[in-house]
């Protein structure tokens, strides 16, 4: 009997070897190697400089009818091609010119589907493509990622899929992550030799992905189910109770591409900040006229609870208060003011405004002052009457909307994002998705989508002590790798840890004033907030004068230093000027900044740095003006929770 079993096993292995096919591609610089094995199932692995980083990834898709992907798979043909082109983003949140260079392996399978793999210098990606024309349901998408022993993660743990996706990044060994623990994307995995940042892009008409643990070094993909019923009896303005879900994750029709699964791979943390992979793998621009899309800064009301003072009227949700915001914005070259929660007649009656706030008058007054108005709106009532609401706002003269409290990642919600973006593009309205999942490629298709939240940002200062300097130097490497983030910086009440107090009406930030100022260079956000009260900003005009010089879009980005959760220093160019932002965690640091990226000549550098007493009094800062050139090496000295920022004028200081 044992002899028969041995013979059968041998025959099975021989058959597997006969039908097993292996394919390999390397990145253009040859440092990353991706190997694909097809032996009925589909798996792949990736290495960096010959060190295995992703040990094995098993992938596939199961459907209600037709051919499953990755089951009894047989390759009909394959091709390997090199590609190189230039992408020029409409809204350059990082670089105005992106070199899109990669090697692509295309596998065409029996059963009318393809699988594309790409190897870039900064990572790999794969995408399934369905060539059939049938209607069917996606029952599940399979992806099991196995990392080498000892792998760890920066784990944005979720309690449920109905979520704002605003999380802290927990440092956890993969073997410590149980099967009932899961996280949203992006997520970073750490091996002995490199890190992997995993996320998705080109997400259209399909649910967003999460990954869960199982007590080993393997992580598995999961998705929210297709939503069949919502409890409409509960009178909730922003939250939903899902009462019935399908046993599938998506309905699909006809031939289509599925999302790109993106894996940035590097042994240098700076790569995750510099990488444009999620943009490169997005679908191309879908609108013709983009001249009207204007990024800029925003004077924002909700963080500071409309607390203005030193005026001869009662501040709050009223016309006089918002005219004060507009006057502040106008006098400081701030392009926008947001009317956040409270401007509508109620949170559900959003076609009419609060009787104390004359919205058309504010829009008229703003235009007179060269300041545009953006209107906050809840997703639920907007989704129920999208076209009429947006056309009404457009008729008033609003420039855009801030959509809040989506909280879902299922197929319907993903489609709703695109529906909103498309309709707003038709009406020439900007979109800021707040209460959202991470950017997933939509901003390239519809560049009027200028920002996403999906990040645990400064508004949490109002009710928690979770927004620490360590968190602030973690998110640029992880969340920001997916795209711009609506963190809402600019707090002027700054405290060291021992002095911090939670105050909803008068919030304060952890870390120094220079830490906040540096965010305007470090954090990517084409629509960037100034979160504090105009009354406070007037008293801190020197800080505002510095911030108001910093652009919100960039021509070039260079990361000078970076370690996830420890520190970061970024240099960005806009036109003929360079801007540098550096931030640290609770550890005081000195970072040497090499200015060799400058051209020949002498230049003026205006520096905003921690004051000598910032370790005790976080609002202490100093502004210096010095002369530098391309041979200069400047030391950015930062206090605990500190920062450092500079503006370099590309004009000879002697002229």
Q: What percent of the chain has pLDDT over 70?
A: 96
State pLDDT tens for residues 111-126.
999 999 999 999 999 9
**Does the pLDDT of residue 440 top 80, yes or no?**
yes
Residue whose C-alpha is closest to residue 190's, from 177, 173, 207, 170:
173
Task: Examine the residue annotation and report whether 459 is marked as an active-site residue of this protein.
Answer: yes
Q: Please report which confidence band the pLDDT of residue 19 belongs to, taking 50, 70 and 90 as the band edges.
A: confident
Mean pLDDT of the chain: 95
Q: Which of 122, 459, 585, 610 is catalytic?
A: 459
Tell me the C-alpha distance between 226 and 244, whole Å. Answer: 9
pLDDT at 16 over 60: no
Q: Which CATH superfamily is domain 296-553 in?
A: Aldolase class I (3.20.20.70)
Q: What is the pLDDT of residue 6?
A: 45
Sequence ranges of the domains in the chain: 20-280, 296-553
Contact 257/127 with Cβ under 8 angstroms? Answer: yes
Q: How much is the pLDDT for 523? A: 98
* pLDDT on residue 4: 54
**Structure confidence by residue, pLDDT tens digits, 539-559:** 999 999 999 999 999 999 999
State pLDDT tens for residues 249-306. 999 999 999 999 999 999 999 999 999 999 999 999 999 999 999 999 999 999 999 9
Q: What is the pLDDT of residue 303?
A: 98
CATH number for domain 20-280, candidates 3.40.50.300, 3.30.9.10, 2.60.40.10, 2.70.98.10: 2.70.98.10
Whether residue 136 is predicted with pLDDT greater than 70 in this model: the reply is yes
Q: How confident is the model at residue 17 (pLDDT cuts 50, 70, 90)?
A: very low
* pLDDT of amino acid 3: 55
| Active-site residue, selected from the candidate residues 140, 166, 404, 585 | 404
pLDDT above 70 (res 81): yes
Q: How confident is the model at residue 8 (pLDDT cuts 50, 70, 90)?
A: very low
- Write out pLDDT tens, residues 455-487: 999 999 999 999 999 999 999 999 999 999 999
First to last CA, the chain: 94
C-beta of residue 478 within 8 angstroms of C-beta of residue 487: no
Integer Cα distance of 119 and 633 in angstroms: 35
Which spans in 317-441 are helix H?
319-331, 359-368, 379-384, 386-396, 411-426
Round to whole Å and give the CA distance between 325 and 338: 9
- What is the Cα–Cα distance from 614 to 554, expressed in whole angstroms? 30
Name the band, by pLDDT with cuts 50, 70 and 90, for residue 235: confident
Question: Which H or E run contains 188?
Answer: strand 187-190
Q: At what angle do helices 386-396 and 359-368 cross, to 10 degrees?
A: 50
Query: Can you read off the two tokens belonging to residue 401?
Result: 């909307």
Indicate if the pLDDT at residue 655 is higher than 60.
no
The predicted structure's pLDDT at residue 569: 99
357 pLDDT exceeds 80? yes
Tokens of 161: 């899929």
Percent of the chain clearing pLDDT 90 (strictly above): 95
pLDDT value of position 232: 86
Q: What does the alpha-carbon distance between residue 443 and residue 352 come to, in Å, rounded to a whole number?
A: 29
For residue 652, what pLDDT is reported? 55
pLDDT digits (tens, 9 = 90+) for 153-170: 999 999 999 999 999 999
The residue-averaged pLDDT of 303-316 equals 97
DSSP string, 564-575: TTTEEEEEEEET
CA-based R_g, the chain, Å: 26
**HSE, side-chain direction, 13 A CA sphere, residue 85:** 7
């Amino acid at each position: 009997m044992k002899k028969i079993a041995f013979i059968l096993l041998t025959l099975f292995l021989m058959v597997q070897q006969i039908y097993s096919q292996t394919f390999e591609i390397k990145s253009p610089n040859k440092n990353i190697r991706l190997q694909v094995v097809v032996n009925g199932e589909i798996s792949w692995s990736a290495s960096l400089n010959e060190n295995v980083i992703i040990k094995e990834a098993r992938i596939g898709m199961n459907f209600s009818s037709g051919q499953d992907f990755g089951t009894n798979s047989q390759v009909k043909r394959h091709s390997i091609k090199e590609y190189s082109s230039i992408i020029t983003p409409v809204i350059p949140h990082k670089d105005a010119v992106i070199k899109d260079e990669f090697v692509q392996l295309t596998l065409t399978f029996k059963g009318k589907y393809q699988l594309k793999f790409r190897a870039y210098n900064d990572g790999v990606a794969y995408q399934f493509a369905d060539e059939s024309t049938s209607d069917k349901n996606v029952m599940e998408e399979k992806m099991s990622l196995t990392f080498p022993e000892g792998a760890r993660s920066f784990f944005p743990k979720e309690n449920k899929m109905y979520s704002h996706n605003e999380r802290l990044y927990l440092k956890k060994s993969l073997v410590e992550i149980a099967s009932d623990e899961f996280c949203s994307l992006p997520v970073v995995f750490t091996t002995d030799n490199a890190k992997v940042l995993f996320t998705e892009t080109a997400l259209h008409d399909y649910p967003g992905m999460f990954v869960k643990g199982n007590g080993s070094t393997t992580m598995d993909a999961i998705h929210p189910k297709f939503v069949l019923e919502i409890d409409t009896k509960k009178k909730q303005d922003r939250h939903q109770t899902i009462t019935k879900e399908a046993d599938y994750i998506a309905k699909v029709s006809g031939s289509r591409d599925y999302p790109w699964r993106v894996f940035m791979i590097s042994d240098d943390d700076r790569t995750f900040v510099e990488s444009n992979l999620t943009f490169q793998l997005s679908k191309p621009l879908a609108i013709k006229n983009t001249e009207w899309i204007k990024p800029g800064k925003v004077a924002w009301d909700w963080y500071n609870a409309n607390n203005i003072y030193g005026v001869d009227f009662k501040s709050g949700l009223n016309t006089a208060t918002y005219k004060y915001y507009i006057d502040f914005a106008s006098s400081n070259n701030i392009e926008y003011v947001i009317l956040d929660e409270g401007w509508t007649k109620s949170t559900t009656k959003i076609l009419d405004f609060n009787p104390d706030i004359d919205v058309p008058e504010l829009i008229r007054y703003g235009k007179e002052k060269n300041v545009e108005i953006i209107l906050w709106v809840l997703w639920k009532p907007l989704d129920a009457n999208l076209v009429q609401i947006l056309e009404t706002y457009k008729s008033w003269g609003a420039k855009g909307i801030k959509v809040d409290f989506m909280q879902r990642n299922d197929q319907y919600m993903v489609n709703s994002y695109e529906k909103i973006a498309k309709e707003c593009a038709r009406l020439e309205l900007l979109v800021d998705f707040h209460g959202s999942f991470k950017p997933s490629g939509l901003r390239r298709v519809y560049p009027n989508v200028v920002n996403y939240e999906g990040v645990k940002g400064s508004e949490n200062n109002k009710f928690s002590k979770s927004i620490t300097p360590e968190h602030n130097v973690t998110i640029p490497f992880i969340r920001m790798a997916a795209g711009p983030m609506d963190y809402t910086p600019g707090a002027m009440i700054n405290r060291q840890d021992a002095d911090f107090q939670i105050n909803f009406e008068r919030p304060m930030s952890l870390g120094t004033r220079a830490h906040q100022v540096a965010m305007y260079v470090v954090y990517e956000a084409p629509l960037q907030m100034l979160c504090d009260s105009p009354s406070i900003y007037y008293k801190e005009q020197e800080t505002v004068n510095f911030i108001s010089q910093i652009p919100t879009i960039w021509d070039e980005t260079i990361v000078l230093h970076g370690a996830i959760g420890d520190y970061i220093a970024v240099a960005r160019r806009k036109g003929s000027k360079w801007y540098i932002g550096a931030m640290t965690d609770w550890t005081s640091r000195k970072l040497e900044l090499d200015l060799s990226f400058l051209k020949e000549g002498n230049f003026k550098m205006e520096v905003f740095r921690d004051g000598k007493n910032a370790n005790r009094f976080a609002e202490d800062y100093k502004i210096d003006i010095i002369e530098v050139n391309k041979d200069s090496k400047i030391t950015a000295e930062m206090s605990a929770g500190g920062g450092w920022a500079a503006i370099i004028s590309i004009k000879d200081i002697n002229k």
